[in-house]
Homo-oligomer: A and B are copies of this chain.
Amino acid sequence: MKHILAIIDDVYEDLELWYPKIRLEEESWNVVVAAPEAERLYKGKHGYPCVSDAAIADVASDDYDALLVPGGFAPDKLRRDPKVLELVREFDAAGKPIAHICHAGWILISAGVLKGKKTTSTVGIKDDMNNAGAEWIDEPVVIDGNQIASRTPKDLAAFSKALVDMING
- Give me the interface of A with B, judged by CB distance under 8 Å: 14-15, 18-19, 22-23, 25-26, 44, 46-49, 156-158, 160-161
Contacts and interface: CB of A to CB of B under 8 A. Distances in A.
Nearest to A25: B157
> Lowest 8 A-B CB distances belong to which pairs?
A47-B47, A26-B157, A46-B47, A46-B48, A25-B157, A22-B157, A22-B156, A19-B22
A26 to B, nearest CB: 4
Main DSSP-derived SS at the A contact region: helix
B46 A160 contact: no
A15 B153 CA distance: 13
A48 B26 CA distance: 22
Given A23-B157, A46-B49, 9 more contacts: A14-B14, A14-B48, A15-B18, A19-B22, A23-B26, A26-B158, A26-B160, A44-B48, A46-B47
A63 to B, nearest CB: 22
A23 B158 CA distance: 10
A48 B153 CA distance: 12
